[in-house]
Amino acid sequence: MMGRELNGGWQSYRVWDPLQRVFHWLNVACMLGLVAIGTAILWDKELGVSAEGKVLLKTVHVWIGYVFATNVAVRLAWAFVGGPFSRWRAFLPGPGYLQSLRQFFAGAAAGAAPRYLGHNPLGRLMVTFLLLLLTVQATSGLVLAGTDIYYPPLGSRIAAWVAAPGVDPATLVPGDKTAVDPAAWDAMRAFRGPFIETHEIVFYLLLAAALLHIASVVHAELREGGSLISAMFSGRKLLDRPPVDQPEA
């Protein structure tokens, strides 16, 4: 992959493919929406949210969650067939990773950190961690969509589980327990417990990881004078010297 030479010795390289860029910014939009609504759900009593309002918040949260989960699923699939910097081998730590990590730290300490077209060794760890968190959050969220408001993919089964004898599960209303079997309801809530706990823990982990990611990108942008942020719009990185991960022609 040859770079396009610019003034001052800088070169422009095509790196991020369109789908990867769409995934990134759609994920950002979904995260912002989910965090805002999730916070309102967590603090519903303090915010004075009514029971009907909480169901509405959960409904909107679930619909954004469907977009979020679909986006994550497409990105994971794209890691098998996408461009060279979209694939698993481009970010999962593999053979030679520790050596590249040592070289990166040594170069950074000497004021000459190696340049990368894709993610640097620390960035690879962050991307791996973020994708893991996103996958766990999407999966747990899909389970909670069924246990909270009877939405797919598990909603119909949850409704059939908790409906009182003689009650059509399809008539159950989220937030209304008058037509549910108390024992089945308690069993369902026990089943739901680990998923809601996981969802809340990962919620905070994602917030922390996202803030660390943003801080790292800004730091690298200022230190290297590169184009990490603009590259996620244009798909092209500007580098002041040859990258160490340039694919062979």
Q: What is the pLDDT of residue 229?
A: 85
Give pLDDT tens digits for 157-178. Answer: 999 999 999 999 999 999 899 9
**Domain annotation covers residue 244:** no
Q: Is 180 inside any structural domain?
A: yes
Structural domains in the chain (count)? 1
Q: pLDDT grade, residue 248 (50/70/90)?
A: low
Per-residue confidence (pLDDT) for residue 225, from 0 to 100: 63
Is 7 within a domain? no
Tell me: pLDDT of 146 over 80: yes
The boundaries of the domain holding residue 77 are: 14-239
Q: Is residue 207 part of a domain?
A: yes
d(CA 123, CA 214): 11
CB count in 10 Å sphere of residue 238: 19
pTM score: 0.90
204 and 217 Cβ atoms separated by less than 8 Å: no
pLDDT digits (tens, 9 = 90+) for 87-111: 999 999 888 899 999 988 898 888 7
CATH number of the domain at 110, please: 1.20.950.20
Percentage of the chain modeled with pLDDT above 90? 66
Residue 194 belongs to a domain: yes
Residues 6 or more apart whose Cβ sits within 8 Å of residue 154: 142, 143, 145, 146, 147
239 CB neighbour count, 10 Å cutoff: 21
In this structure, is residue 248 part of a structural domain?
A: no
Asked if residue 232 belongs to a domain, the reply is yes
Summarised one tens digit per residue, pLDDT across range 33-43 is 999 999 999 89
79 located within any domain: yes
Over residues 44-95, the pLDDT tens digits come to 999 999 989 999 999 999 999 999 999 999 999 999 999 889 999 999 988 8
